[in-house]
Structure 1
Amino acid sequence: MKKIFLPAAALLMLFSCQNDTTETDVQTNAVLQRGCASQEVLAAQMKADPTLALRMNKIEDFTQKSMLNGRIVNGKVEIPVVVNVLYKTASENISTAQIQSQIDVLNRDFNAANSDFTKVPSLFSGVKANVGIKFVLQNIVRRSTTIASWSTNDAMKKSATGIAPTSPATVLNMWACNLGGGILGYAQFPGGSLSTDGVVIDNNAFGTTGSVSAPFNLGRTATHEVGHWMNLRHIWGDANCGSDYVSDTPTHNEPNYGVLNYPHYSTCSGTPVEMTMNYMDYSDDRGMYMFTNGQKSRMAALFVSGGSRSSFRN
């Protein structure tokens, strides 16, 4: 069983999302590998705000107690979504249809309604989960800009340079823009400032139609990043054989890229079969298609009374 208690020292470590190479049965082009900057952004926020680590430790303590006591949400949590589109070119001004396709993916993936859910190997069939969270598109905000490429410094979330979030205490804000540096997206973990709360996705990985391109054309970048927004860590724990603070995911030694042949074994203690199809790994879109019951409980703990996202409850 994985360690599930989060020491302050672990929160202060900087883990970057590296483009390591592993064997795949498809893509071999190193440029086409998943890049997520959520952990890097978290480290920068902690450096700027020393109190963030304390808030996140309190959230972690509450999460573990809620999971232990069974204090999870009954029924569905409905998440209103505002999508903020920043564009310099016409292709970056993604269509309403493309945006809706992403909301549809979130609703399928978080409700075990994705067609590839049936591909979950029998080894993991006992832990595969229907998270039971609904997403509803509330509004689309668009802004033309002269910025050709955005970084992970949250400039897209500021009214002076981008679009400020709409009611972030009760609305999930998503920004679609041209991200640079090989990054497909990043999210803010619970506990951060409301002024920067939300998820950023590259416009070429947003949804399933329009400007998207393989191997990130199935909307799973947003599923991964919304997972972070709901307090999920990368499945390898951002360290060699690290902990994601979930007991029913196997210990991974590193991120996995592309679409690996099953079974793929970890080099960690016990050499477990890795859950490469978990949304919190780095597999290509077509290679990720499940959450676990432990991840579900971790997410659900955010929305109970006292949880860090309890304001989203109706």
Structure 2
Amino acid sequence: MRKVILTAGVLAVLLVSCEKDSSESQNNATDAQEQEVVVDMSDFSLYVESDDLTGKSSGAVEKCVSMKNLEYRLGKNKGLAKKMYDIEYTTRKAIALKANGKGKPGGGGGGGGTPPPIYEGAITIPVVINIIEKFPGEVTQSQITSQIRILNEDFNNNNSNTSGVPSAFAGLVADVDITFVAGTINRVVNTRNSWGTNDAMKDPSQGGIAPTDPANNLNIWVCEIGGGILGYAQFPGGAAATDGVVIGTDFFGENSAGGIYGKGRTGTHEVGHWLNLRHIWGDGRCNRDDFVADTPKSDRANYNCPTYPTTHCRSADMTMNYMDYVQDDCMYMFTLGQNERMRALFVAGGPREGFVN
């Protein structure tokens, strides 16, 4: 009996030892696999190639000044460039690891195993809406309700216009699986005519509204930006005190005053920036990119409602992408590559992990 017990004990030790060796081997193999992924950052840039590439429509509407706001923030925060470089490096590595089959299913939904490099589960984002209006009720509840509905349509591939996607891009349409839920609505009355693009609307000392818990809420500011500007957003990596999206009063939700830009898609575009998407033409000539593999290169923004194909840089532009500048009715898709880029933000240690952990 003693001999059997001793033998069983020896076997147990051997089994534990084997399991430990196996675990260490798997970890070493995983480390080696990750080291095999080469991340090329040679094309990374934080600046537009030239000012004219941000462009204005024929109606003098400047759709988005996110890149201009980024330049302003880079000038004020000397550590921001390095932080954004690191986020970009991590994002590219995650996408490369996923493409190479690294990481096991389960990390996105608590299923165990090695967490996948890109978050795989459904995502819910609470939205705090900060309204700065010239008189009480200038921004209506209807605008608020419609903006949340439109965000949910667009980030869940329920935009009815998506049925018109050209066959060349039909296999690239993504369901991002992000749901937005309206939370606190903050309102202040201020008769200021223009808030500009340097984040004054986020500063209570200037009459604005401070963000609410930006690690766990998407903050949207609604105010008159001025200069015909529709909106702008802060990219991941920026200061918590200014984190969020700004949308002009006329272009928030469904609003006839916004004209062709009054169908709520400015919100979709700017939230795309907040989730680390660049303009689809890369804010540069044909040698600049938006860092997404499945979006064609272009050297300019598109406006109004272009016919397909509209060709630049020897390929048809994806004018219907939410990250172009076309009118609201004519943008209706994110790509699979853009989806991966956004989802890389939500893994443990990522800049938007607070929304899923």
Asked if these proteins are the same fold (TM beyond 0.5), I'd say yes
Question: Which whole-Å deviations, capped at 9, do the CAs of 1:60-97 have from their partners, x for residues lacking one?
Answer: 01101111122222221100000000011456x21122
Decide whether the 8 Å contact of 1:8 with 1:54 is kept in 2: no
Matched residue of 1:260: which SS?
coil
Structure of larger gyration radius? 2
Corresponding residue for 1:168?
214
Decide whether the 8 Å contact of 1:14 with 1:39 is kept in 2: no
Q: Check if 1:177 corresponds to 2:212.
A: no
Q: Distance in 1 between matches of 2:175 and 2:259?
A: 26
Corresponding residue for 2:67?
39
Matched residue of 2:258: which SS?
coil
Please point out which of 142, 150, 158 is paired with 1:97. 142
Q: Distance in 2 between matches of 1:224 and 1:15?
A: 21
Decide whether the 8 Å contact of 1:5 with 1:245 is kept in 2: no
Decide whether the 8 Å contact of 2:80 with 2:237 is kept in 1: yes
Please point out which of 87, 91, 101 is paired with 1:63. 91
Task: Evaluate the alpha carbon distance shift between residue 108 and residue 9 of structure 1 in structure 2; reply closer, same or farther with a 3 A threshold.
Answer: closer
Ranges in structure 1 where 5+ consecutive residues have no aligned partner = 22-29
Corresponding residue for 1:123?
168
Question: Which whole-Å deviations, capped at 9, do the CAs of 1:89-114 have from their partners, x for residues lacking one?
Answer: 456x2112210100000000000011
Decide whether the 8 Å contact of 1:277 with 1:289 is kept in 2: yes
Task: Evaluate the alpha carbon distance shift between residue 15 and residue 309 of structure 1 in structure 2; reply closer, same or farther with a 3 A threshold.
Answer: farther
Identity of aligned residues (%): 47
Please point out which of 277, 289, 297 is paired with 1:243. 289
Please point out which of 339, 343, 346 is paired with 1:303. 346
Matched residue of 1:122: which SS?
coil
Q: Distance in 2 between matches of 1:19 and 1:287?
A: 18
Decide whether the 8 Å contact of 1:14 with 1:43 is kept in 2: no
Matched residue of 2:211: which SS?
coil
Give the TM-score of the pair, scaled to structure 1. Answer: 0.90
Corresponding residue for 1:290?
333
Q: Distance in 2 between matches of 1:195 and 1:31?
A: 33
Higher relative contact order (Cα pairs below 8 Å, separated by 6+ residues): 1
Q: Which amino acid aligns with 2:294?
A: D
Task: Evaluate the alpha carbon distance shift between residue 307 and residue 130 of structure 1 in structure 2; reply closer, same or farther with a 3 A threshold.
Answer: same
Q: Distance in 2 between matches of 1:305 and 1:215?
A: 40
- Kindly state the Cα deviation for residue 20 of structure 1 after the two structures are TM-superposed: 5.1
Matched residue of 1:134: which SS?
strand
Corresponding residue for 1:213?
258
Give the TM-score of the pair, scaled to structure 2. Answer: 0.80
More helix by share: 2
Matched residue of 1:126: which SS?
helix
Ranges in structure 2 where 5+ consecutive residues have no aligned partner = 1-38, 99-116
Q: Check if 1:107 corresponds to 2:152.
A: yes
Task: Evaluate the alpha carbon distance shift between residue 284 and residue 150 of structure 1 in structure 2; reply closer, same or farther with a 3 A threshold.
Answer: same
Q: Which amino acid aligns with 1:119?
A: G
Matched residue of 2:354: which SS?
helix
Task: Evaluate the alpha carbon distance shift between residue 20 and residue 216 of structure 1 in structure 2; reply closer, same or farther with a 3 A threshold.
Answer: closer
Decide whether the 8 Å contact of 2:47 with 2:67 is kept in 1: no
Decide whether the 8 Å contact of 1:14 with 1:40 is kept in 2: no
Q: Distance in 2 between matches of 1:136 and 1:231?
A: 20
Corresponding residue for 1:154?
199
Corresponding residue for 2:128?
82
Please point out which of 46, 50, 53 is paired with 2:81. 53
Corresponding residue for 1:26?
none
Please point out which of 12, 19, 22 is paired with 2:55. 19
Task: Evaluate the alpha carbon distance shift between residue 8 and residue 163 of structure 1 in structure 2; reply closer, same or farther with a 3 A threshold.
Answer: farther
Q: Which amino acid aligns with 1:259?
A: C
Q: Check if 1:10 corresponds to 2:53.
A: no
Please point out which of 241, 252, 262 is paired with 1:195. 241
Task: Evaluate the alpha carbon distance shift between residue 59 and residue 286 of structure 1 in structure 2; reply closer, same or farther with a 3 A threshold.
Answer: same
Task: Evaluate the alpha carbon distance shift between residue 15 and residue 83 of structure 1 in structure 2; reply closer, same or farther with a 3 A threshold.
Answer: farther
Equivalences, count: 298
Compute the RMSD of aligned alpha carbons: 1.7
